[in-house]
A and B are shown apart, each in its own frame.
Chain A
């Protein structure tokens, strides 16, 4: 009983380089030239989980992304890992989409791709870090969802049972298929593309969708009517994070003694 899976992924700026981000004083916009892009780390775990399910049950794994044309690189990487085909939603009108609009556009892409039993994605991205897209996408597709998934316990043609992390433990959740699962890092260790995989990836299909996808999929009526994000960014600024530091010098013994005394004087430490 094969399962068809669509994995939603996102290309993000590498968080290791966030310290280099600046604001363009003229435009007030983020200046991030020179910052490399990577596939959102949790999304790689989602791809891996999809491949493992495919290896056990058969089916087709499709990788979908919304982004600028260079996001194709993330799709190619997923194909090299072993996904069967890719799809990219690429249009100027999608630029700057908030989570609601992103989820809406992705849902249109998924409807255009067609039959699926399972949607997989990372529980959050390293750039926005909202974690909002997965449940919103499930809502637009009218399917059940689970986020923070750390383990798939059982899966068959009708249902899937998932362990979902919460602050003090986990919830065991049963979902009727089709369903959406957003995964955490702890769900698996992902494979790296092999040379063979990279070569085979070049033969695989990547479907391209433009903005018109949202008219042709017949979902227009379910949404607010226009491709507009409800939230707007009105300003970006660098936070004032500075405190005036009092450096305590001297040999370790001397310095630590002074520090502890200062902390006790301030009553953050009891005597």
Chain B
């Protein structure tokens, strides 16, 4: 081994040690999960996604406080979506099953970004097709935009032939049982990944 190479090894070892120290520092705060513990993106402490005030498909006003003690999984989508939204909801059904008895402490929330077409009766029928415990929330066009903005969630109406579709963020947001936004799950992740992170959050006070 040349001197230069040995130096390089020392630098690498030093970096690894520094990383370990940083991780250990993270561990010492018992009220926070360890960095890298979640399968999804840990967004604990972000300044957005604090709350919402929307109407559910039974015409009842809902805020985050209604679901205290449960993990809330919130997803922005629309009913006329043939692919991603039903896939996300199918995964939510699987996730709930994987959680077993803890599945009762999961609240799935579907916020429509297409209130123009997604009326309460359609939303109710849509949720019932997956799981009657799932709640679809909606509001008028302006407040839909404000709500999505407050979650840094993107959506845009795009014409397609004679109709239109919605481009939209396909992230699922997870709130812990105290109502704090903690994790953003990606669409590509599996029901197992989702169940893993939800189970972790259910353990937090």
- Asked whether A and B interact, the reply is no
Which B residues are closer than 8 A to A by beta carbons? none
